[in-house]
Amino acid sequence: WVQSAMLASLISSPVTGDPTRNEAVAKERRGRALERLHADGHISAEEMSTLDSYPVPRQRRSRQDEFEETYYLEEVKQILLDATYLGDTKLDRTEAVFAGGLRVFTTFDPAAQDAAERAIAAVIPPNEWDVTAALASVEPGTGAVRALVGGPGFADYKFNIATQRPGRSTGSSFKSFVLAAAMDAGYVPTDVMDGTGPCEFDNTGGTPNPYEVENFGGSRGSIGTIRQMTLSSSNCAFVKLGQIVGLANVSETANALGVTSTLDPGVISMPLGPIDITPMEMATAYASIANVGIRVEPFYIERVETRDGIVLFDRSQDEAAQR
């Protein structure tokens, strides 16, 4: 009877009478329902008094408990909690996400996720030193995020290394942006460069000055084409190429492709990837390169519907979401 009275009291105004929000209001309305039950002869006065003394529910049980916590799911939840199409206030959006019966269609690919987790486990198995890795998979041409590994497991480590700043240094993977800036400036793969090392650069105003660079493994390097310097990942050649092209142009190119972290053109070592960038930014930029240089924006949600099938958001119809 007490549960039935609680449910009956919610019919006229579920939000106002929500016991998890308004305990006093919910208890008063449930009391009125109990009084009606007594007046209609379903319960005695003593039963009514006893049932009225019961506490109202204070915790919400929702379908979110049915899903395993993952980095991908957390990203989707946070996006929905900020989505104005689900309500004007954070409280309204929280209600819609956790109790609204929404149908959310995401870009998640279970096969890609399994492959991502296997790839990381093959290189860095579970260990006692908390060494971990992150991975972001962004589909070229669309920007759909197909898989996401943010660390050793969201249940134990909430910080998402793949998406949350400060990110990590990128190493030689940043050299692609130097190449892109060079090609944009008119240089071609057959242009010749001096990649011999060690090499030294004037770094007036910076530290150290001069700036000394060594090729990987102390290699003496060689003089050759940009293609050859790329195949050998010559540090000396790429720092020189960065100076020739201009680090401001390299920064602009990286930003245009999808790197949103701040890149300081005054850092002479930029081509060697010392600046912290998130894996998601790098995956986005590389997806843009694979998309013939056209920038893609990473996204997780294709469509959101109410429990009755009313479309609240459809990315294919939302021009702002596609920009």
Residue 171: pLDDT over 70: yes
Strand positions, DSSP E, the chain: 103-106, 135-138, 145-149, 168-169, 192-194, 199-201, 211-213, 223-225, 276-277, 301-305, 311-314
- For residue 18, the model assigns a pLDDT of 87
- For 270, the token pair is 């930029």
Q: How far is CA 272 from the centre of its chain?
A: 25
Confidence band of 188 (pLDDT split at 50, 70, 90): very high
- For residue 103, the model assigns a pLDDT of 94
- CB-CB neighbours of 34 under 10 Å: 26
Residue 317: pLDDT over 90: no
- For residue 71, the model assigns a pLDDT of 96
Question: What would the pLDDT profile of 211-248 be if each residue is shown by its tens digit?
Answer: 999 999 999 999 999 999 999 999 999 999 999 999 99
Mean pLDDT confidence for 36-59? 92
Mean pLDDT confidence for 282-310? 95
Mean pLDDT confidence for 121-131? 87
Q: How far is CA 291 from the centre of its chain?
A: 20
Residue 276: pLDDT over 90: yes
Mean pLDDT confidence for 259-286? 96
- CB-CB neighbours of 157 under 10 Å: 14
- For residue 319, the model assigns a pLDDT of 59
- For residue 272, the model assigns a pLDDT of 97
Residue 315: pLDDT over 80: yes
**Rounded Cα–Cα distance for residues 255 and 293 (Å):** 12
Smallest CA-to-CA distance from 294 within 188, 187, 180 is with 180
Beta bridge pairs of residue 30 = none
Residue 62: pLDDT over 60: no
- CB-CB neighbours of 193 under 10 Å: 22
Confidence band of 34 (pLDDT split at 50, 70, 90): very high
DSSP string, 231-276: HTT-HHHHHHHHHHH-HHHHHHHHHHHT--S---TT-TTGGG--SE
Confidence band of 158 (pLDDT split at 50, 70, 90): very high
Per-residue burial over 287-310, b if 16 or more Cβ lie within 10 Å, else e, is bbbebeeebbebbbbbbbbeeeee
- For residue 127, the model assigns a pLDDT of 85
Mean pLDDT lowest among 66-70, 125-129, 134-138, 142-146: 66-70
- For residue 14, the model assigns a pLDDT of 83
- For 209, the token pair is 């000055």
Question: What would the pLDDT profile of 6-15 be if each residue is shown by its tens digit?
Answer: 999 998 888 7
> What percent of the chain has a predicted confidence (pLDDT) above 90?
81
Residue 59: pLDDT over 80: no
* Mean pLDDT computed over every residue of the chain: 92
* Cβ-based neighbours of 222, under 8 Å, separated by 6 or more: 195, 196, 228, 232
Of residues 321 and 81, more confidently modeled: 81
Confidence band of 67 (pLDDT split at 50, 70, 90): low
Mean pLDDT confidence for 168-182? 97
